[in-house]
Amino acid sequence: MREEELKFSVNDGFVLPELAVLAPQGGEVVRAGTRRLSATYYDSPDLRLARSGVTLRRRTGEDGPPWHLKLPTATANVREELTAAGAPDTPPAELARLVTGWLRAARLVPVVALDTTRDVWQVRDRAGRPLVELVDDAVTVGNGRQRTGGFRELEVERKADGELTAAVMRRAATLLTETGASGDAFVPKAIRALGPRALEPPDIAAPGPLPRRPTGGEVVTHALRRTVARLIGYDVRVRRGEPDAVHQMRVCCRRLRSDLRVFAPLVDSDFAAPIIEHVRWLGGALGESRDAEVLRTRLSRTAARDPLAPLDGHALAVLDTDLAERDRRAAHALAGAMDTHRYAESLEVLVEAARHPRLTARARRPATRTLPRQVAKAWRDLETAARLGPLDPDEAWHAARIQAKRARYAAEAVAPATGKDAARLAKAIAEVQDVLGEHHDAVIAAQHWADLAAQHPDDPTVMITCGRLVERERAAARTDRARFRHAWSRAAKPKRTRWLAADGGVPAEARPTPEVAGAR
């Protein structure tokens, strides 16, 4: 459930203005009583949740489950609220799991208690439907039995969708501020009660812009922090089964490994080795779930490729059932892996590495002098791998895909420091990577359809359908091999790689152009 609300600070002497003016035509403002709420908020001792804009509490005094988890969204005053039943002193497991990305290996403990006397008004439309709820909260702050302070706060919460509700929200905000309420930055009650420590930055967040003339080390650090922040952010999305979340988290793992390898001369090797191992393990845990997800999507896509030659519906249903079971098992295994101590430890290692990377002396040199050489090496490796002919084995095409990822990630990492040249090259390599990725998916799918056929030896219809799927996948792979030639010719233009000559990199025009599909 999405919760959209506006908050206003007021002093004890503030008098609410006449609220009837907020009613839309034909509607009314109704006094909806007084509630007495008691809430205990849970966090790590160093307030990792609060500093990330997350709140986990147990609150009594109102209808519904007592445990509430509120997650931040892209809009400051909009949060997603999840609820659950549970014992009084232990956060429910289903909510505690969802905060693992922020909490990592730290434990959950009670950090603050709030007692609130809440006076409630509802703005209703002509049909009696609540549009907006306005509450006047008198809050007492405590920690256990000790009361440590208090404050008064007004909230205006959206209760219905539509422009009419939005108009009432705007009118309420104007009315309250004009009569002396302070509508400053959105700060949840618990964070306000916890004080300055709760307003400190999270342990890891997406980094801001680089300095005007960054060092190579600053660029590498920027890339690590950006990717680790994204990976941590995907934890809750993977746990909730959001579309593409597993894929994106796996991409973060691959990008981290690639960056640490490509920029190895700038990163202490003893520092990088354990990080790569943690990321390799995490990427492996994500891999089976992602592969199952891709295959299930691929089945419907491949089956629909030729509408003039439809495949047997019964056979497709059997195959989809097999894939759904594989998907279920993979999701269960991934959830188990993400609930282990090893997973939490891996996140701790990644966050600490991003906060305090150990770099070499070379990392102190200007980025424009050090980084093009590293990208140039990744590009040369890609050029070598891209010497592909139409009859080369699938493994060679997959190896080229891996090198394309490394070269693309390298160019993207340095783009903030080296400018548009790197961004253009990265975009061109991304097109190559997409073609090679489609080729790889077709190859893997063809093998899987063949394996499924072998699992149904007593169902000729399923076996024939699997054979037809294999043929379509191999045809798609041949098409992708032909498409590769065009994508590679665009990426390999000298104008895209000339900037790699900096710091001793070999200019693209000085190197031979690799053979491409169809050139042999």
pLDDT exceeding 70 applies to what percent of the chain?
Answer: 96
Cα 355 to Cα 268: distance, rounded to the nearest angstrom: 15
SS3 letters across 374-392: HHHHHHHHHHHHCCCCCCC
Q: Indicate whether 354 and 415 sit together in one domain.
A: yes
Is residue 516 a part of any domain in this protein? no
User: What is the mean pLDDT of the segment spanning 226-241?
Assistant: 96
Tens digit of each residue's pLDDT (9 = 90 or more) over 149-167 = 899 999 999 999 999 999 9
Is residue 481 a part of any domain in this protein? yes
Q: Indicate whether 389 and 313 sit together in one domain.
A: yes
Tens digit of each residue's pLDDT (9 = 90 or more) over 358-393 = 999 999 999 999 999 999 999 999 999 999 998 999
Whether 517 shows a pLDDT value over 90: the answer reads no
Cα 270 to Cα 273: distance, rounded to the nearest angstrom: 6
User: What is the mean pLDDT of the segment spanning 40-61?
Assistant: 97
Is residue 103 a part of any domain in this protein? yes
Q: Indicate whether 383 and 298 sit together in one domain.
A: yes
The rounded mean pLDDT for the chain is 93
**Triad 34, 38, 44: Cα angle to 5°:** 145
At 316, the amino acid letter reads: L
Q: Indicate whether 192 and 220 sit together in one domain.
A: no
Whether 97 shows a pLDDT value over 70: the answer reads yes
Is residue 350 a part of any domain in this protein? yes
Whether 459 shows a pLDDT value over 60: the answer reads yes
Q: Indicate whether 347 and 313 sit together in one domain.
A: yes
Whether 513 shows a pLDDT value over 50: the answer reads no
Asked if residue 323 lies in contact with residue 476, where contact means CB atoms within 8 angstroms, the answer is no
CATH number for the domain that contains residue 318: 1.40.20.10
Total number of domains constituting the chain: 2
Q: Which helix (H) or strand (E) holds 18?
A: none
Whether 60 shows a pLDDT value over 90: the answer reads yes
Q: Indicate whether 253 and 325 sit together in one domain.
A: yes
pLDDT score of 508: 40
Is residue 441 a part of any domain in this protein? yes
Is residue 206 a part of any domain in this protein? no
Cα 150 to Cα 114: distance, rounded to the nearest angstrom: 9
Is residue 398 a part of any domain in this protein? yes
pLDDT score of 504: 44
Whether 330 shows a pLDDT value over 90: the answer reads yes
Q: Which helix (H) or strand (E) holds 63?
A: none
Whether 204 shows a pLDDT value over 70: the answer reads yes
Q: Which residues pair with 491 in a beta bridge?
A: none
User: What is the mean pLDDT of the segment spanning 65-74?
Assistant: 95
Q: What is the extent of the structural domain holding 423? A: 216-510
Whether 146 shows a pLDDT value over 80: the answer reads no
pLDDT score of 185: 79
Residue ending a domain, choose from 199, 228, 257: 199
Is residue 518 a part of any domain in this protein? no
Token reading at 226: 């950006």
Tens digit of each residue's pLDDT (9 = 90 or more) over 179-202 = 999 987 789 999 999 999 999 999
pLDDT score of 519: 36
pLDDT score of 502: 54
Q: Residue 142's pLDDT band (boundaries 50, 70, 90)?
A: confident
Q: Indicate whether 14 and 99 sit together in one domain.
A: yes
**Triad 399, 401, 404: Cα angle to 5°:** 115
pLDDT score of 180: 94
Torsion of CA 479, 481, 487, 492, to 10 degrees: -170
Tens digit of each residue's pLDDT (9 = 90 or more) over 397-447 = 999 999 999 999 999 999 999 889 999 999 999 999 999 999 999 999 999
Q: Indicate whether 468 and 392 sit together in one domain.
A: yes
Q: Indicate whether 254 and 154 sit together in one domain.
A: no
Q: Indicate whether 220 and 194 sit together in one domain.
A: no
Cα 352 to Cα 333: distance, rounded to the nearest angstrom: 27
Whether 511 shows a pLDDT value over 90: the answer reads no
- For the chain, give the number of residues: 520
Q: Indicate whether 237 and 349 sit together in one domain.
A: yes
Residue ending a domain, choose from 199, 234, 269: 199
Token reading at 53: 């804009």
Q: What is the pTM of this model?
A: 0.88
403: nearest Cα among 422, 425, 384, 417: 384
Residue ending a domain, choose from 199, 233, 253: 199
CATH number for the domain that contains residue 148: 2.40.320
Q: Indicate whether 194 and 220 sit together in one domain.
A: no
